Every structure is written in C-alpha cells, then in structure tokens.
Amino acid sequence: MNKEEIQRFRIFNKLKTVYRATNLDDRHESTADHTYSCLLLADLFLKEHPKINKLKVYELLMYHDVVEIESGDTDITLDSDKEEQKKREREGFLRLKDKIPKQLKEKYVEIYKDFEEGKSVEARFARAIDYFEPIINELDHKNHWDGWSEEDLRRRKQKKFKEFPIIMSAFEDIIKYLNQNKYFKKEKK
C-alpha cells in the first residue's frame, strides 16, 4: 500500500461529517453513525437468514451510503423529487469512484450497482435494514414523530420488509408499540 492510496483512503473519513436529518440526543446523526447501526442491526437479523451471504450484506451496508460524501443525505420526511435525488446520487457516485483507493474501486462500483438495483437477495436484505434502522433510532426520540402517522410509516417503509418475515414481524411489533405509546401525532384524515 503506497502513500498515495492511504491519502485516497482518507475520503471515507468524510462520511463522519455528512449529517442526516435524524437527531441523536444533542447532535445530528452522521451517515457513519447510521452505517454502523445498520451493520449491527443486520447482524441481529441475519441469524434468522442462514442462506444469505453475511459478508456480502456487511459490505453492501458498509459502502451503501458512501456516495453521500458527494451527494449529501436525502431526508425521507420531505417529499423530494425521487428522480432528482437519484440523479444527484448517480453524479456523486461517478465523482467518488475516481477518488477512492484504486484497490477498492471495482468493489465499490459492483456494490453500489447491486445495492441500487436490488437484484441479489443480499442487496434487498441490506436495503430493508437501511430502511428499518432509522425507525429503531427514532424509538428513543418520541418528539421526532410529530407529523407522522401509521399510514405514513407503512407507505414509506413497509414494502422493503415484506420479503423478510423476521424484519416484517419486527416492523409490525414496532407499529403496535408506537400506537400503544402514542408516538404518532398526525391526525387521521
């Protein structure tokens, strides 16, 4: 490993400074925080899916949001233009792939495409975890649920979980918990 490649590796540290809409107790969550939590959450659920390639899932989660170094995070609570978001991320991906260490470029390109296309079961599993982790995080922040309803949560998240019964079951348990503990503060129409 030469000096230049070590310098190129430093770009990954920028993930620690990309902030998400999600708050922790006294600061915004970084994308690196989210990635770490996704890895741990995947480890929990992978116990129930022994045929899924764990290493591939871990790599998908480790790299899935690296593009945010260039594109920034997208707040799902905003009804943003999905096409504009995809374009911004694609442009960020194209810029980033030439900035990372050469030894990781091919892997990064392959992982990015797999995660985005969701063709492998591992990619779909990783995406389900990516969608599920913020729900878990927000259980510690009841005041962040202002404006949310069960219908909103189901519409934005549920379709990602259906392929994985253990995640879907956990999602349903959380919906019950949210309702029982009055997290949803949006008036039903």
CATH at 130: 1.10.3210.10
Model confidence band, residue 152 (pLDDT cutoffs 50, 70, 90): very high
Residue 181, pLDDT > 90, answer: yes
Q: For residue 141, what are the domain limits?
A: 3-180
Nearest-angstrom CA–CA distance, 107 and 113: 10
Answer whether residue 14 is part of any domain: yes
Average pLDDT over residues 18-31: 84
Query: How buried is residue 25: exposed, middle or buried, by Cβ count under 10 Å (0-12/13-18/19+)?
Result: exposed
Residue 186, pLDDT > 90, answer: no
Question: Is-contact 66 15, C-beta < 8 A?
Answer: yes
Q: What is the pLDDT of residues 39-89, one digit of tens each?
A: 999 999 999 999 999 999 999 999 999 999 998 887 655 555 677 888 888
Answer whether residue 185 is part of any domain: no
Number of domains in the chain: 1
Q: What is the pLDDT of residues 87-144, one digit of tens each?
A: 888 999 999 999 999 999 999 999 999 999 999 999 999 999 999 999 999 999 898 8
Answer whether residue 38 is part of any domain: yes
